[in-house]
Structure 1
Amino acid sequence: MSDRVAVVGMSIRAAGVRNTADFWQLISTGKTGRREMGQGELTRRGVPERRYKDPAYVPVTYPMADSLGFDPAAFGFSGPEAELTDPQHRVLLEECYRAVESSGCFIGSLPDRVGVFLGSRTSGYGPRIEYLSAAAGLDVDAAALAVGTDPDYLANRVSYAFGLTGPSMTVLTACSSSSVAVHLACQAILAGECDSALAGGVALDVGDAGYLFAEGSINSPRGRCEPYMASADGTVEGNGAAVVFLRRLDVALAAGHPILGVVAGTAVNNDGRERAGFTAPGVAGQVELIEEALDVAGVPADGIGLLEGHGSGTSIGDALEIEAAAQAFGGAGACRLHSVKANIGNLTAAAGAAGLIACLLALRHERIPPNAPLLTGAPPVDLRGTPFTLADRPVPWPRSATGRYGAVSSFGLGGTNAHVIIGDAEAEVRLAARRGRSWQLLPLSADDPERLRATVEAVRTAVDGAPADVRQDIGHTLRTGRPGLAARTTALIPLEGNGTWPDPDRFRTAPPGPPPLVFLLPDEDAGAALALYRTEPVFRSTVDESLAVMAQTLDPATFAAVRDAVRAGGPVSPPVLHLLGIGQHAFLGELGIRPDVLVGPGAGELTAAQLSGVLSAEDAARAVCWRGQALADTPSEAAAHFARRLREVRLHAPGTPVVSGVTGSWLTAEEAGDPGYWGVQLGEPVPVGEAVRTVVSEHPDAVYLQLGGGTELLAAARRGGVAEEAVLAAQPDIFQAVGALWERGVRVDWDAYAERDRARRIDVAPRAFARTPWLHPALRGHCPGIDPAELAGKQADR
Structure 2
Amino acid sequence: MSDRVAVVGMSIRAAKVQSAADFWRLLITGRSGRREIDPTELMRRRVPSHKYKDPAYVPVAYDMEDCLGFDPQAFGFGPSEAELTDPQHRAVLEACYRAVESSGCFIGSLPDRVGVFVGSRKSGYGTQIEYLSAAAGRDVNLAELAIGTDPDYLSSRISYTYGLTGPSMTVLTACSSSSVAVHLACQAILAGECDSALAGGVALDATDAGYTFTAGGIYSPRGRCEPYMASADGTVEGNGVAVLFLRRLDVALAAGNPILGVIAGTAVNNDGRERAGFTAPGVAGQSELIEEALDVAELRASSIGLLEGHGSGTSIGDALEIDAAIQAFRSTGAGTDECRLHSVKANIGNLTAAAGAASIIGCLLALRHGQIPPNASLVEGAPPTDLGGTPFKLADTPIAWQRSDQGRYAAVSSFGLGGTNAHVIIGDAERELRLASRKGRYWQLLPLSADDPERLSGTVDAVRVVVDESSTEVRQDIGHTLRTGRPELPTRAAALIPVDAGSADGKWLAPEQFHTVPEVPPTLVFLLPGETVRAPDVALALYRAEPAFRSTVDDGLEVMKQVLAPEMFAAVRDAFLHGRYPTATNALQPVLHLLGLGQHAFLSDLEISPDLLIGHGVGELTAAQLSGVLSFEDAARAVCWRSQAMADPSEHAEAVVRFTRRMRDVRLNSPTTPTLSCVSGAWLTSEEARDPGYWGAQLGEPGPFDEVLRSVVSEHPTAVYLQLNSGTNLLQGAQRWGVPEDAAVALASDGEASDSWCSLLQAVGSLWEQGVRINWQSYAERDHALRVDIAPRTFGRIPHLHPSLLEHCPGIDPAELSGKRVS
* Structure 1 and Structure 2 fold alike (TM over 0.5): yes
Residue 767 of structure 2 is aligned to residue 741 of structure 1: yes
Deviation, structure 1 residue 181: 0.5
Distance 1:327 1:766 in 2: 44
Residue 679 of structure 2 is aligned to residue 662 of structure 1: yes
The match for 1:646 is 663
Deviation, structure 1 residue 784: 4.2
Distance 2:576 2:40 in 1: 79
Alpha-carbon displacement from aligned partner over 1:81-102 (angstroms, at most 9, x marks no partner)? 1111000011111110000000
Deviation, structure 1 residue 581: 0.2
The match for 1:378 is 382
Residue 458 of structure 2 is aligned to residue 448 of structure 1: no
The match for 2:112 is 112
Q: Counterpart amino acid of 2:91?
A: V
Residue 805 of structure 2 is aligned to residue 788 of structure 1: no
The match for 2:632 is 617
RMSD after superposition? 1.3
Instruction: Give 3-state SS (helix, strand or coil) of 1:245's partner.
Output: strand
Deviation, structure 1 residue 574: 1.3
Tell me, yes or no, if the aligned pair for 1:38 and 1:59 is still in contact at 8 Å. Answer: yes
Distance 2:802 2:717 in 1: 44
Residue 345 of structure 2 is aligned to residue 354 of structure 1: no
Distance 2:507 2:528 in 1: 29
Distance 1:4 1:370 in 2: 30
The match for 1:726 is 743
Q: Counterpart amino acid of 1:314?
A: T
Deviation, structure 1 residue 566: 2.2
> Which is worse superposed, 375-384 or 443-452?
375-384
Deviation, structure 1 residue 106: 0.5
Deviation, structure 1 residue 53: 0.5
Q: Counterpart amino acid of 1:339?
A: S
Q: Counterpart amino acid of 2:667?
A: R
Distance 2:293 2:14 in 1: 28
Q: Where do residues 361-372 of structure 1 align in structure 2 (5 Å cutoff)? A: 361-372=365-376
Deviation, structure 1 residue 275: 1.1
- Determine which of 531, 535, 541 is the counterpart of 2:551: 541
Alpha-carbon displacement from aligned partner over 1:619-657 (angstroms, at most 9, x marks no partner)? 111100101111222322232221110111111111222
Residue 331 of structure 2 is aligned to residue 332 of structure 1: no
Distance 1:132 1:328 in 2: 51
Q: Where do residues 125-524 of structure 1 align in structure 2 (5 Å cutoff)? A: 125-330=125-330, 331-333=333-335, 334-498=338-502, 499-524=506-531
Distance 2:691 2:475 in 1: 53
Tell me, yes or no, if the aligned pair for 2:448 and 2:492 is still in contact at 8 Å. Answer: yes
Tell me, yes or no, if the aligned pair for 1:115 and 1:168 is still in contact at 8 Å. Answer: yes
Tell me, yes or no, if the aligned pair for 1:125 and 1:206 is still in contact at 8 Å. Answer: no
The match for 1:681 is 698
Tell me, yes or no, if the aligned pair for 1:282 and 1:415 is still in contact at 8 Å. Answer: yes
Tell me, yes or no, if the aligned pair for 1:689 and 1:719 is still in contact at 8 Å. Answer: no
Residue 804 of structure 2 is aligned to residue 778 of structure 1: yes
Alpha-carbon displacement from aligned partner over 1:466-505 (angstroms, at most 9, x marks no partner)? 1111111111111111111111111111111222322111
The match for 2:719 is 702
Residue 44 of structure 2 is aligned to residue 39 of structure 1: no
Distance 1:693 1:659 in 2: 12
Tell me, yes or no, if the aligned pair for 1:689 and 1:720 is still in contact at 8 Å. Answer: no
Q: How many equivalent pairs are there?
A: 796
The match for 1:582 is 597
Distance 2:274 2:675 in 1: 81
The match for 1:597 is 612
Deviation, structure 1 residue 785: 4.1
Alpha-carbon displacement from aligned partner over 1:181-205 (angstroms, at most 9, x marks no partner)? 0001001100111100000000001
Q: Counterpart amino acid of 1:772?
A: I
Distance 1:280 1:545 in 2: 78
Tell me, yes or no, if the aligned pair for 2:81 and 2:144 is still in contact at 8 Å. Answer: yes
Deviation, structure 1 residue 735: 0.5
Distance 2:516 2:435 in 1: 38
> Which is worse superposed, 7-16 or 724-733?
724-733
Tell me, yes or no, if the aligned pair for 1:117 and 1:185 is still in contact at 8 Å. Answer: yes
Tell me, yes or no, if the aligned pair for 1:45 and 1:788 is still in contact at 8 Å. Answer: yes
Distance 2:322 2:678 in 1: 86
> Which is worse superposed, 430-439 or 35-44?
430-439
Residue 563 of structure 2 is aligned to residue 553 of structure 1: yes
Q: Where do residues 68-83 of structure 1 align in structure 2 (5 Å cutoff)? A: 68-83=68-83
Alpha-carbon displacement from aligned partner over 1:379-426 (angstroms, at most 9, x marks no partner)? 111112320100000111111111000000000111111010000000
Distance 2:706 2:139 in 1: 63
Instruction: Give 3-state SS (helix, strand or coil) of 1:354's partner.
Output: helix
Deviation, structure 1 residue 697: 5.2
Distance 2:354 2:96 in 1: 13
Distance 1:432 1:438 in 2: 18
Deviation, structure 1 residue 782: 3.7
Tell me, yes or no, if the aligned pair for 2:36 and 2:61 is still in contact at 8 Å. Answer: yes
Distance 1:252 1:672 in 2: 51
Q: Counterpart amino acid of 1:476?
A: H
**What TM-score results when the alignment is normalised by the length of structure 2?**
0.95
Seen in structure 2, the aligned counterparts of structure 1 residues 666 and 459 have a Cα distance that, compared at 3 Å, is same
Tell me, yes or no, if the aligned pair for 2:723 and 2:746 is still in contact at 8 Å. Answer: yes
Residue 784 of structure 2 is aligned to residue 758 of structure 1: yes
Distance 2:819 2:553 in 1: 63
Alpha-carbon displacement from aligned partner over 1:129-152 (angstroms, at most 9, x marks no partner)? 112212222111111111111111
Deviation, structure 1 residue 305: 0.5
Deviation, structure 1 residue 724: 2.6
Tell me, yes or no, if the aligned pair for 1:599 and 1:658 is still in contact at 8 Å. Answer: yes
Q: Counterpart amino acid of 2:765?
A: G
Q: Counterpart amino acid of 1:548?
A: E
Distance 1:226 1:520 in 2: 71
Tell me, yes or no, if the aligned pair for 2:796 and 2:820 is still in contact at 8 Å. Answer: no
Alpha-carbon displacement from aligned partner over 1:566-610 (angstroms, at most 9, x marks no partner)? 222233511111010000000011111111111101110110111
The match for 1:24 is 24
Distance 1:343 1:465 in 2: 31
Distance 2:181 2:202 in 1: 12
Deviation, structure 1 residue 40: 0.7
Distance 1:607 1:714 in 2: 18
> Which is worse superposed, 592-601 or 250-259?
592-601
Q: Counterpart amino acid of 2:380?
A: T
Distance 1:664 1:275 in 2: 91
Q: Counterpart amino acid of 1:220?
A: S
Tell me, yes or no, if the aligned pair for 1:524 and 1:710 is still in contact at 8 Å. Answer: no
Distance 2:513 2:63 in 1: 41
Deviation, structure 1 residue 695: 3.6
Q: Counterpart amino acid of 2:604?
A: G
Residue 84 of structure 2 is aligned to residue 64 of structure 1: no
Distance 1:58 1:761 in 2: 46
Alpha-carbon displacement from aligned partner over 1:109-168 (angstroms, at most 9, x marks no partner)? 001110010100001111111122122221111111111111111111111111111111
Instruction: Give 3-state SS (helix, strand or coil) of 2:307's partner.
Output: strand
